[in-house]
Structure 1
Amino acid sequence: MLEVVLGSATVEASQGLNIATLEAALVSLGFELICDKQKDLVESIKIAVIDLIRSEKIATLATNVSTYLAYKLGKDYSTISTAFKASEGVALSRFVVLQKIERAKELLSYDELSKAEIATCLGYKSLQHLSSQFKDVTGFTLLQYKKDDFHQRNSIDNLL
């Protein structure tokens, strides 16, 4: 295996390589081989959402997230959201919110940005909108969470 990154692996073609060998190598590294087109689409959606939020591109997005994902993945949003819901059992829009809230928790724990700056970084139009979604997801207000010594965080790839 030459390279493994989130969403893809580069392998050197050799005569003894087969899918079972490749899959075993990936599993030993903590990865999963996805051969199903539907699963591949869902993983691509997850990667695109995580990248959009973690890179903070969402703050300067000139369109809404659904239009961005449709363009990025080259499929209409209806196809994307239906595949995601069927695979993950949760609406794609909810997954986006969960990712944004997890990033907000991270930024709050760094204590480098104000709550308003965090809202802006995550593409919220107002601090009140972030506050409302944060309380809905976590059960805490932003202030309660920030004051809490035990910042309960979740792995971004395991929010569902």
Structure 2
Amino acid sequence: MVREALSKLGLHDVSVDLGMVEIRQDLTDEQLQQLKERLLLIGLQLLDDKRSILIEKIKNAIVTMVHHIDEWPKENYSKHISKLLGYDYTYLANVFSEVKGMTIQQFIILHKIEKVKELLLYDELSLTEISYKLDYSSVSHLSNQFKRITGLTPTFYKKLKHQKKRIALENV
């Protein structure tokens, strides 16, 4: 969809990745405005300031870490994100908190809870296996955090699985 929007404006991409597009030529102000409008029509937003781009990179790193990697990174998440993005973690944490109004840790917890919900609904792993998979120190820690965020115990949530809907990741 992004390539099609670029093509309609006569622009040619060099690469299109999750959250990033590289194009061959510089854009005029008019082309930039037209691109923003076309992307909005398909539900996307052009981020052209460095802080917004950095926030998106942090969010993408967290979503990948929590939802798309089978094993939690061996190093702590702050080192992992810092190394992945090439910035000091304190700087990343400060920018993220200023822009999002929550800490990176809070954002990770929200995503981990969404992943727990998903795994509970699949009903393939025990709570012990889920807590290990998502790097919780214990089942008790996972259960307490789950209840604090959702208001429900994981066991009760699992019983309600047909009635309770998960939150879309982009809305977390």
TM-score past 0.5 threshold: yes
The offset of 1:152, in angstroms, is 3.0
The offset of 1:15, in angstroms, is 8.4
Assess if the C-alpha contact under 8 Å between 1:56 and 1:122 holds in 2: no
Alpha-carbon displacement from aligned partner over 1:48-97 (angstroms, at most 9, x marks no partner):
0000011235x341111111111111111111111111111011100000
Q: Cα gap change, 1:15/1:50 in structure 2, threshold over 3 Å: closer, same or farther?
A: closer
> Equivalents in 2 of 1:60, 1:30: separation in Å?
31
The residue type paired with residue 31 of structure 1 is L
Match of 2:134 in 1: 122
Q: Larger relative CO (CA 8 A, sep 6+): 1 or 2? A: 1
The offset of 1:127, in angstroms, is 1.4
Structure 2 gap segments, 5+ residues each: 4-14
> Equivalents in 1 of 2:46, 2:100: separation in Å?
17
Paired residue total: 158
Note the aligned Cα RMSD (angstroms).
Answer: 2.1
1:143 is matched with which residue: 126, 138, 155? 155
Where 1:107 maps in the other structure, the secondary structure is helix
Structure 1 gap segments, 5+ residues each: none
2:97 paired with 1:85: yes
Match of 1:66 in 2: 78
Whichever of the two has the greater Rg, that structure is 2
2:36 paired with 1:23: yes
Where 1:35 maps in the other structure, the secondary structure is coil
The residue type paired with residue 86 of structure 2 is G
The offset of 1:24, in angstroms, is 1.6
Q: Cα gap change, 1:119/1:70 in structure 2, threshold over 3 Å: closer, same or farther?
A: same
The offset of 1:9, in angstroms, is 2.8
Match of 1:56 in 2: 69
Deviates more, 1:89-98 or 1:148-157: 148-157
Q: Cα gap change, 1:18/1:32 in structure 2, threshold over 3 Å: closer, same or farther?
A: same
**Normalization by structure 1: what TM-score?**
0.89
